[in-house]
Amino acid sequence: KVAATLVGNVNKKESKKNKLQVSLKTPKGTKDWADTDMVIREAIFSTLSNLFKKHGGVTIDTPVFELKEILAGKYGEDSKLIYDLKDQGGEICSLRYDLTVPFARYVAMNNIQNIKRYHIAKVYRRDQPAMTKGRMREFYQCDFDVAGSYEIMVPDAEILSILVEGLTSLGINDFKIKLNHRKILDGIFQIAGVKDEDVRKISSAVDKLDKSPWEVVKKEITEEKGQSEETANKIGEYVKLNGSLKEVHDILSKDEAILANEKAMSGLSEIATLITYAEAFQIEDFISFDLSLARGLDYYTGLIYEAVTAASAPPTDASELKKKAKTDDDASAYVGVGSIAAGGRYDNLVNMFAEASGKKSTQIPCIGVSFGVERIFSLIKQRAVAAAAIKPTATQVFVMAFGGGKDWTGYLPERMKVAKQLWEAGIETEYVYKSKANPRKQFDAAEKSGCPLAVILGKEEYLENKLRVKRLGQEFAEDDGELVDADKIVEVVQQKLSEI
Amino acid sequence: KVAATLVGNVNKKESKKNKLQVSLKTPKGTKDWADTDMVIREAIFSTLSNLFKKHGGVTIDTPVFELKEILAGKYGEDSKLIYDLKDQGGEICSLRYDLTVPFARYVAMNNIQNIKRYHIAKVYRRDQPAMTKGRMREFYQCDFDVAGSYEIMVPDAEILSILVEGLTSLGINDFKIKLNHRKILDGIFQIAGVKDEDVRKISSAVDKLDKSPWEVVKKEITEEKGQSEETANKIGEYVKLNGSLKEVHDILSKDEAILANEKAMSGLSEIATLITYAEAFQIEDFISFDLSLARGLDYYTGLIYEAVTAASAPPTDASELKKKAKTDDDASAYVGVGSIAAGGRYDNLVNMFAEASGKKSTQIPCIGVSFGVERIFSLIKQRAVAAAAIKPTATQVFVMAFGGGKDWTGYLPERMKVAKQLWEAGIETEYVYKSKANPRKQFDAAEKSGCPLAVILGKEEYLENKLRVKRLGQEFAEDDGELVDADKIVEVVQQKLSEI
């Protein structure tokens, strides 16, 4: 680890007596974003926010921290991953764990009856990081949620379509949406003989089936969570079912136990409706109805889903690799990317907040989807870099001055004046921060910025009120450019840029 | 205060035994942003990031929290306002207080020799909030900084130009940039007889001159901070000086004590250079050279500046209003907006981090400016709302179905199919989430979204493969629109939208 002494105060006199130790790093599970990574990530944000707007979404922004009590009791076993702020007097606060709970708080607090909102922002989880898999402690979520009372499965189908449109528009086509229904899952647990109060903890055991084989999960259900062998086996029969919406729907529709279970049947009839809408949106082929999907969060009440790709699963020899890992700081060697987008229906969360605040009870059903940008980034980075040489800056024009001799000033204030004219016209413009710079240094700086055009102040030409406009780049090396009137410079530059 | 019982767990069975109290609010000094406020704020971000790109800036993103030791010793008396994270095992972290220190940490950590970077992100200060004045505990900074060794005052002048361009492009023209130079200020303190180790604390007393009269500050300097009456009076003589760069430069150039002080003269010669460049950028008239400006932060080493408007100062009867205030939760009644943008040169900060991490010492001089978005927002909100009726969503097309009779299905899956086609063409499209909706409800929903075009599936027309495209809005009430071939719908809609 890098660690050394830090001058504790900028004042040099004090620094000598007062040295502090400092590690020059970002906190565990976080990183700086810069250069082309930043350009790619911004492009992902832009694609997704355009998608959300395309579906009528409006955006909101909530604080990074919430009152701790707002987050309490929403995340099941994962609550231990919440970052708390130190008690420095005043309110006790925690960093947000997701954007869903703050959204429900916002809807309840402002008595909102319906909204389609999107929110792109950072969330925080004190989890084991796996940085190269895009699993971080500080990461972005890009959420789209629909709140309001609507007909069964209508917003749900659109949210699933948004999931498909989002991933495909980011160039990811080889994904599956694993989908299940909490009511069907609850029905299955009832059928298997799980008591109501045990349902969530058995559900979170089942949720591990994407990482662990059934035998391990079964052991957790029986030994750790006190269910009978028979109950576990019954659960095992159901959770191994998966296939298209239609296939699994048909199997369950012929299952005597399901037919006799009210909860399961209610979920199953919603699935039947969803099939029609999924066909209208042509998204059926992306969906795998998978009864092993449980999702950890407490607040889901209906459809649940997550998008996975080949990279989502851990390597097959994960447990071997884990043993060999030299550090437990980062799990990238032995975990998968996990789900790259996920969500579900949560019909009680807003009302929970409304009642808790003394407002009158109002059911505001909600459903949403969250895209995991860093995980998606880890999948598409390679391709994005290959596809396009990303321009390092937005700079369009480099203002240069060429001259020499004893009386040569370097025309710095003059370059500044020309730059100012171009800025005022909205044109991205730079020049080197040097009174006298030789042509080579100026061309090098322009090349580094990736800009296509130079405006050159020649020592004599400038005195005659003329500026030279020249294309940059290897293929224009022999081209001397065009000499134009100084007062026409903005027009000429705009014209040349429009031709590029 | 709103406070009531919160169901501690979504599971209904458990909820009855396990009720929690919750306040349905955001933490003190924070707020949710939504609706037109959000649209206006996003427009500010967009204006500023375009400005930063116009000057060759690239963007980076650093974590919201840093190791606590990174922030230590950078903020003088204001360090007490830093939010710490709770010690939950592992590293001790704090929320960033500004974007400057993380930037310097980033530059040092990555051995960057030069960069023009911009960063638009939230920072955190446990200060007394004044919400309607845009003074908050969680707020955005929009920073542009230049790191690298360049000729004296060249980047400095461009940063000041960016400050002017930023505010004027946001429609703020009635501002002044108060400007001073730390070397001149340090020289004055030397001349007045302040010991080197007392300079920063006297500086932070002088910094209060924008809020308190000289008599109050003088008392702090003598009684609290142990300086002689004579020293205080000497300081008082200088800090009352202000005027244009040239005026104050000329006064100081004739001052015997200044002429004999090496630090002050070094600062003064930089000001002389700045005057030339400020003329090239035509920004002299915005600048007030004000020797009372000190700025609280420890890390500044050269030019310091802040932009103020008429709303920046507290009301003249502030102390009366403060006494009358019923709550100390919010100071809006008796404080001003404060500075709306500010910054300075900090030449030692990067090297401090470099040396502290055991890297070899490298001087990377830096200068930057930070725009306070919430404060600017509080100034321009009124005007922005008046200037343009802000469209609530980006929606362009509402897909509707009209029909009736016993066999009328409402064409919901059919509307979905049409919406899908439009989405695929990149067109913002909505429809009501209802199987059968009457025309009025569909028109109301379209109007609420603010969208200009309807695509209508008429019961009979749709069977003949025809769709109706109609302009929305009062002035088109009598217009029945145009019947077009269903397979031409995307082209027709694109054409109509391009004509609006």
- CATH of B397-499, picked from 3.40.50.800, 3.40.50.12590, 3.30.980.10, 1.50.40.10, is 3.40.50.800
The rounded distance, in Å, linking the Cα atoms of A177 and A163 is: 9
Cβ–Cβ contact B315 with A under 8 A: no
Report the residue from B13, B30, B276 with minimal CB separation from A197: B13
The rounded distance, in Å, linking the Cα atoms of B132 and B130 is: 6
pLDDT for res B362: 85
pLDDT value at B210 more than 90: no
What mean pLDDT comes out for the span A330-337? 82
Confidence of residue A91 (pLDDT cuts 50, 70, 90): very high
pLDDT for res A11: 44
Report the residue from A32, A61, A353 with minimal CB separation from B62: A32
Predicted confidence (pLDDT) per residue in A221-255, tens digit: 999 999 999 999 999 999 999 999 999 999 999 99
Q: Are A191 and A231 in contact (CB under 8 A)?
A: no
* Chain B residues near residue A26 by CB distance under 8 angstroms: 62-63, 66-67
Q: Are B370 and A20 in contact (CB under 8 A)?
A: no
Closest approach of A108 to chain B, Cα-based (Å): 8
Predicted confidence (pLDDT) per residue in A417-459, tens digit: 999 999 999 999 999 999 999 999 999 999 999 999 999 999 9
- Domain chopping of chain A, boundaries: 1-28, 35-387, 397-499
pLDDT for res B20: 54
In the sheet with A482-485, reading across from the earlier edge strand, the strands are: A429-430, A397-402, A453-458, A466-471, A482-485
Number of alpha carbons in the 13 Å side-chain half-sphere of residue A100: 25
Say which residues have a Cβ less than 8 Å from residue A287's Cβ, sequence separation at least 6: A160, A176, A177, A179, A244, A245, A278, A305
Pick the residue of B51, B66, B86 with the most A CBs within 10 A to test the interface with A by mutation: B86
List beta partners, residue A145: A117, A368
Tell me whether residues B199 and A69 touch, CB distance under 8 A: no
* Chain A residues near residue B358 by CB distance under 8 angstroms: 2-4
Confidence of residue A19 (pLDDT cuts 50, 70, 90): low
CB atoms within 10 A of CB B478: 5
Tell me whether residues B2 and A357 touch, CB distance under 8 A: yes
Cβ–Cβ contact A128 with B under 8 A: no
CA A172 to chain centre: 14
What mean pLDDT comes out for the span B130-135? 85
Residues 81-120 of B with CB under 8 A from A: 83-88, 90-91, 93, 95, 105-106, 108-110
Q: Are A66 and A93 in contact (CB under 8 A)?
A: yes
The rounded distance, in Å, linking the Cα atoms of B198 and B195 is: 5
From the list B387, B285, B37, B10, the residue with the least C-alpha distance to A348 is: B10
Report the residue from A66, A73, A420 with minimal CB separation from B8: A73
Confidence of residue A36 (pLDDT cuts 50, 70, 90): confident
CB atoms within 10 A of CB A423: 21
Predicted confidence (pLDDT) per residue in A306-317, tens digit: 999 988 888 888
pLDDT for res B13: 42
Confidence of residue A8 (pLDDT cuts 50, 70, 90): very low
Share the mean pLDDT of chain A: 91
Tell me whether residues B11 and A197 touch, CB distance under 8 A: yes
The rounded distance, in Å, linking the Cα atoms of A175 and A117 is: 25
Pick the residue of B6, B24, B124 with the most A CBs within 10 A to test the interface with A by mutation: B24
Tell me whether residues B32 and A62 touch, CB distance under 8 A: yes
Closest approach of B316 to chain A, Cα-based (Å): 31
pLDDT for res A494: 97
Share of chain A above pLDDT 70, in %: 94
Predicted confidence (pLDDT) per residue in A341-399, tens digit: 999 999 999 999 999 888 888 899 999 999 999 989 988 887 766 556 677 889 999 99
Confidence of residue B4 (pLDDT cuts 50, 70, 90): very low
* Chain B residues near residue A74 by CB distance under 8 angstroms: 10
Cβ–Cβ contact A256 with B under 8 A: no
The rounded distance, in Å, linking the Cα atoms of B137 and A307 is: 37
Structure tokens at A196: 């109501």
Report the residue from A23, A280, A358 with minimal CB separation from B2: A358
Q: What is the DSSP string of B270-336?
A: HHHHHHHHHHHTT-GGGEEEETT---S-TT--SEEEEEE-GGGSPPTTHHHHHHH-S-SS--TTT--
Tell me whether residues B165 and A449 touch, CB distance under 8 A: no
Given phi > 0 = left and psi -120 to 50 = alpha, else beta, which region is B456? beta
pLDDT value at B308 more than 50: yes
Cβ–Cβ contact A145 with B under 8 A: no
The rounded distance, in Å, linking the Cα atoms of B475 and B458 is: 22
Q: Which run of H or of E encompasses A42?
A: helix A35-54
pLDDT value at B169 more than 90: yes
From the list A395, A398, A427, A433, the residue with the least C-alpha distance to A413 is: A433
Confidence of residue B318 (pLDDT cuts 50, 70, 90): confident
The rounded distance, in Å, linking the Cα atoms of B471 and B486 is: 17
Burial (CB count <10 Å: 0-12, 13-18, 19+), residue A63: buried
What mean pLDDT comes out for the span B463-490? 95
pLDDT value at B500 more than 50: yes
ipTM of the complex: 0.89
Tell me whether residues B157 and A66 touch, CB distance under 8 A: no
The rounded distance, in Å, linking the Cα atoms of B262 and B260 is: 6
Confidence of residue A3 (pLDDT cuts 50, 70, 90): very low
Residues 369-408 of B with CB under 8 A from A: 392-395
Structure tokens at B497: 């939208």
Q: Are B395 and B428 in contact (CB under 8 A)?
A: yes
Q: Does domain A35-387 have CATH number 3.30.565.10?
A: no
Cβ–Cβ contact A431 with B under 8 A: no
Report the residue from B32, B93, B126 with minimal CB separation from A60: B32
Q: Are B146 and B119 in contact (CB under 8 A)?
A: no
Decide whether A35-387 matches A397-499 in CATH topology. Answer: no
Given phi > 0 = left and psi -120 to 50 = alpha, else beta, which region is B142? beta
Structure tokens at B7: 């169901």
From the list A118, A134, A101, A136, the residue with the least C-alpha distance to A48 is: A118
Burial (CB count <10 Å: 0-12, 13-18, 19+), residue A292: buried
Number of alpha carbons in the 13 Å side-chain half-sphere of residue A283: 31
pLDDT value at A333 more than 70: yes
Tell me whether residues B38 and A23 touch, CB distance under 8 A: no
pLDDT value at B87 more than 70: yes
Share of chain B above pLDDT 70, in %: 94
pLDDT for res A384: 63
DSSP code, position B254? T
pLDDT value at A133 more than 90: no
From the list B261, B220, B270, the residue with the least C-alpha distance to B238 is: B261
Q: What is the DSSP string of A317-342?
A: THHHHHHH-S-SS--TTT-----SEE
Cβ–Cβ contact B330 with A under 8 A: no
* Chain B residues near residue A3 by CB distance under 8 angstroms: 357-358
In the sheet with B176-181, reading across from the earlier edge strand, the strands are: B58-59, B115-124, B138-147, B366-372, B341-345, B303-308, B176-181, B287-290, B242-243
Predicted confidence (pLDDT) per residue in A281-325, tens digit: 999 999 999 999 998 778 899 999 999 998 888 888 887 888 887
Confidence of residue B5 (pLDDT cuts 50, 70, 90): very low
The rounded distance, in Å, linking the Cα atoms of B374 and B29 is: 12
CB atoms within 10 A of CB A349: 27
Tell me whether residues A64 and B122 touch, CB distance under 8 A: yes
Give the nearest chain A residue to B59 (CA atoms).
A34
Confidence of residue B387 (pLDDT cuts 50, 70, 90): low
Buried b (16+ CB within 10 A) or exposed e, A205-236: bbbebbebebeebbebbbeebebeeebbebbb
Number of alpha carbons in the 13 Å side-chain half-sphere of residue B397: 30
pLDDT for res B386: 56
Share the mean pLDDT of chain B: 91
What mean pLDDT comes out for the span B352-361? 87
Helix segments in A110-244, DSSP class H: 154-169, 182-192, 199-206, 214-219, 229-239
* Chain A residues near residue B120 by CB distance under 8 angstroms: none
Pick the residue of B13, B20, B31, B65 with the most A CBs within 10 A to test the interface with A by mutation: B65
Confidence of residue B310 (pLDDT cuts 50, 70, 90): confident
pLDDT value at B56 more than 50: yes
Tell me whether residues B154 and A280 touch, CB distance under 8 A: no
pLDDT value at B53 more than 50: yes
The rounded distance, in Å, linking the Cα atoms of B103 and B94 is: 15
* Chain A residues near residue B126 by CB distance under 8 angstroms: 88, 90
pLDDT for res B480: 92
